[in-house]
Amino acid sequence: GAVVSQHPSWVICKSGTSVKIECRSLDFQATTMFWYRQFPKQSLMLMATSNEGSKATYEQGVEKDKFLINHASLTLSTLTVTSAHPEDSSFYICSPRQGWNYGYTFGSGTRLTVV
Amino acid sequence: DAKTTQPPSMDCAEGRAANLPCNHSTISGNEYVYWYRQIHSQGPQYIIHGLKNNETNEMASLIITEDRKSSTLILPHATLRDTAVYYCIVGKSTGNTPLVFGKGTRLSVIA
């Protein structure tokens, strides 16, 4: 159980364009979604938390207008990096959570390279 | 900030047991100890978690000291595929609080 599908696994885009990353929980319903990013040789840093049907809560220093999070259903959440710049190049990881009595699951990650 | 302290790196010979230490001296009574690992360019993989009793599963064993201020993850027979960054994390199982990752331990299994 607790299968997570994150797509794409890698993407290269030009500066100024937008990129959408999808995260699906295939066999459970995710009431909460955590989004992390990881720069080279660093640990995972929490970007934002979203609950189904509600607006996301962003960590300090993360621009909510740049990283758009949609959590419209219990099985799908998306992260859109708008007007991407080279400094947005990173490894983005989703972490859907079924509820307080369940463990923490993670997607396989998306490697974003902005050129 | 992460509430755990781990050595930045460790080596282990293939076939031997890998013992990864973690200090969490400020752990609260209702916080669990979680262990995840991350193989290069992949998402974190769950290994094991525990509250105060020692735990064992098909991947590893978790030994938690009686005062819960430290723990050790044991991979009984390390293989080359166990080379990864191992994260020790303390967190609550209740509520919707995210896991906070520290820097972890980079384990290199050597043939």
Order of all β-strands in the sheet with B105-110: B9-13, B105-110, B84-92, B31-38, B45-50
Distance CA B90, CA B97 (A): 11
Cα angle for residues A57, A60, A61 (degrees, 5° grid): 115
The alpha carbon of residue B93 is apart from the nearest alpha carbon of chain A, in Å, by 6
> What does DSSP assign to residue A86?
G
Confidence of residue A17 (pLDDT cuts 50, 70, 90): very high
Query: B98–A100: do the CB atoms touch at under 8 Å?
Result: no
Query: B46–A49: do the CB atoms touch at under 8 Å?
Result: no
Average confidence (pLDDT) over B18-30: 94
Q: Which residues have a Cβ under 8 Å from the Cβ of A31 and sit 6 or more positions away?
A: A51, A52, A74, A97, A98, A99, B96
- Percent above pLDDT 90 for chain B: 85
Contact B11, B98 (CB under 8 A): no
Tens of pLDDT along A29-38? 888 999 999 9
Confidence of residue B1 (pLDDT cuts 50, 70, 90): low
- Percent above pLDDT 70 for chain B: 96
- Percent above pLDDT 90 for chain A: 75
> Which of B34, B93, B101 lies closest to A43 in CB terms?
B101
What is chain B's mean pLDDT, rounded? 94
Query: A100–B100: do the CB atoms touch at under 8 Å?
Result: no
DSSP β-bridge partners for residue B86 = B37, B105
DSSP for B13-76? ETTS-EEEEEE-TT--TTEEEEEEEE-TTS--EEEEEESSS-EE-SS-EEEE-TTSSEEEEEET
CA distances from A10 to A93, A108, B42, B84 (A): 11, 10, 11, 20
Res. B4: pLDDT tops 90 = yes
Which pLDDT score, from 0 to 100, does residue A101 have? 60
Contact A33, A71 (CB under 8 A): yes
What is chain A's mean pLDDT, rounded? 92
Confidence of residue A27 (pLDDT cuts 50, 70, 90): confident
